[in-house]
């Protein structure tokens, strides 16, 4: 990937959660990429980190949320469970948006 723009929010979350910029670049290089709702999620699971030793323990579950058009890192968090729920986040809110449209 080209140059990455780090938002202030992403830098704050990285600091709070103990991640470094090199961790982000490693995740972009070997992580599982999932496109959902116009957003790129990059997930580092156990399978991606085989052979990394102690680093694997620290980085397991690292998830990046990016805007793919501008290469902007929006936030960083840890989710050690599998990333299948990322694709379906919209469904939880669909019924609320329908109610909102009906009320207006």
**Burial of 45 from C-beta contacts in 10 A (0-12 / 13-18 / 19+):** buried
Q: What is the pLDDT of residue 99?
A: 44
pLDDT tier at 102, thresholds 50, 70, 90 = very low
Average pLDDT, integer, range 10-28: 94
Dihedral angle at the C-alpha atoms of 69, 63, 44, 73, nearest 10 degrees?
Answer: 30
Average pLDDT, integer, range 36-60: 87
- Which CATH number is 5-103's, of 2.40.128, 1.10.3470, 3.30.2310, 3.30.420? 3.30.2310
Q: Which of 10-14, 24-28, 73-77, 94-98 has the lowest mean pLDDT?
A: 94-98
pLDDT tier at 100, thresholds 50, 70, 90 = very low
pLDDT tier at 85, thresholds 50, 70, 90 = low
Supply the pTM of this predicted model: 0.75
């Amino acid at each position: 990937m080209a140059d990455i723009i780090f938002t202030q929010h992403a830098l704050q979350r990285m600091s709070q959660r103990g991640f470094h910029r090199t961790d982000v670049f490693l995740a972009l290089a070997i992580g599982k990429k999932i496109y959902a709702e116009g957003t790129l999620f990059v997930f580092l699971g156990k399978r991606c980190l085989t052979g990394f030793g102690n680093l694997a323990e620290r980085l397991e579950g690292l998830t990046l949320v990016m805007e793919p058009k501008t290469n902007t890192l929006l936030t960083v968090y840890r989710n050690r469970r599998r990333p299948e729920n990322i694709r379906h986040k919209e469904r939880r809110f669909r019924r609320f948006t329908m109610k909102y449209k009906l009320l207006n």
